[in-house]
Amino acid sequence: MVLTSILVYGSLTAIMFFSGKYAAKRQEDRWEIGLDTPFFVPEIILIFLAFCFVCGARWNVGADSLIYLRNYLYLQDTGHFISRYDFELLFSVISKIFALLHVHFFFYFAFWAFLQLFFIFYAFKNERYLYPYFAIIIILGSLFFTWNNGMRQSLAACIFVYSYKFIERRQFLKFLITIILASLIHQSVILCLIFYFILNRDIPFNKYWYLFILIISAFIGTTTLWTTFSQNIEKFFSSLGYGGYEGKTEYMIKTINLGGRSLILLITCAINIWFFPEVYKYFNHAKRVKIFFIMYYIGISGFFLLFSAYVISRITYYFLIFQIPSLAYLFLYAKNNKKLLYYGLIAIFIIYSLANYYLELGVPSESTNYSFFWNHIF
């Protein structure tokens, strides 16, 4: 299974990386002669086809993937979801349409994967020089498994990234409508409405304080702090669309230690903090570069702070998703200015991905190594 994972994830990363480079070159060439570039050009179509195929053909990739599969098959047979699952309106309607048409689950999962990738790539359609690094960050990092696990919330987070342009342009009504639509996929995204009033403010930066807070957050996250609040957590998170965890407080909160993979995530963020002043200057102090960095920083700090409270930490997805542009800016800066840092970052992501594949072997709940569905149902 590890070999299959290396071949599948490695091939997908390569296709997305080199297609992304070609997309960036095409856009640059067309800009030089005063032409815009359509979004769906051949290399972008190839990226989507490869990504959707891998997501559609997967078996037990993402901890909740089999739950979604069972629900979809049950929906096809009975016309309704398994009774203990209460999905949001838009997700339910789309799923029922697929089920009524007896669409194979390959296309069902490929469809949701298409939407996830679309909102991220389309949000940066004018910055295609970032696309190659999106491939590394999404596939070799932790996001691919997050997207295939919390499928609904991950899509809502991708839509939130897309909606940032409305914050940037001060178009509140469009932002509100977009978030409301996203809440029909996963209702917890409604919490993101507050960022319309926050993200245009200037947020101070001091890399030493940021590093200190990150380390303290990681330390607190390994303590038993969150058990103090366990009685109130279950009800609150049920109201945000996490009803599947009702009666499972012991699963939601448990004491765990930071392992090697978590340390890699911590180191990656620390590198991003350390070099952020140079990255920010390289991109001419563009406000969105700082905003994306701050959102990612809040996400990773919150993730480590809530490390022992697994389900609570899922709220940080709406921040962690911004690692895609933030780390992509770092990659591009490093490629053009610090080659050692650039190849070091690539090595970090490769090591992280290989650690994911090998360390999950033999784990009863293993849902990282890739397997094709036809190896299990035929």
- What Cα–Cα distance (Å) separates residue 247 from each residue in 66, 86, 166, 365? 21, 15, 39, 20
| Identity at 332, one-letter amino acid code | L
Residues 189 and 88 sit within 8 Å (Cβ to Cβ)? no
Q: Which of 366, 292, 377, 298 is nearest to 2 (CA)?
A: 366
Residues in the chain, total: 378
Q: What is the DSSP letter of 196?
A: G
- Pair 320, 228 in one domain: yes
Residue 328 and residue 208 share a domain? yes
Amino acid at site 196: Y
Give me the mean pLDDT over the 96-119 stretch.
Answer: 96
Indicate if the pLDDT at residue 273 is higher than 90.
Answer: yes
Confidence band for 236, pLDDT divided at 50, 70 and 90: low
In a domain, 217, yes or no: yes
pLDDT at 106: 96
Q: Is the domain of 166 the same as that of 206?
A: no
**This prediction's pTM:** 0.91
Per the structure, the complete domain to which residue 246 belongs is given by 202-337
* Residues 34 and 100 grouped into a single domain: yes
Tell me: do 91 and 178 sit in the same domain: no
Do 192 and 232 share a domain, yes or no? no
Same structural domain for residues 122 and 165? no
**Are the C-beta atoms of 77 and 70 separated by less than 8 Å?**
no
Instruction: Give the integer Cα–Cα distance in Å for 306 and 308.
Output: 6
Q: Are residues 230 and 256 in the same domain?
A: yes
Q: Is residue 241 part of a domain?
A: yes
Least confident among 211-220, 230-239, 349-358, 366-375: 230-239
What does DSSP assign to residue 372?
B
Q: What is the mean pLDDT of the chain?
A: 88
Mean pLDDT of 113-129: 97
Q: Where does residue 252 fall: left (phi above 0), alpha (psi -120 to 50 degrees), or beta otherwise?
A: alpha
Map tokens 């809530």 to a residue.
306
Name the percent of the chain lying above pLDDT 90: 66
**Does the pLDDT value for residue 247 go beyond 60?**
no
In 57-193, alpha helices (H): 65-78, 89-100, 105-123, 131-135, 143-149, 151-168, 172-183
| Same-domain check for residues 4 and 139 | yes
Tokens of 240: 């945000």
Output the pLDDT for position 103: 96
Domain tally for the chain?
Answer: 3
Identify whether the C-beta of residue 214 lies closer than 8 Å to the C-beta of residue 301: yes
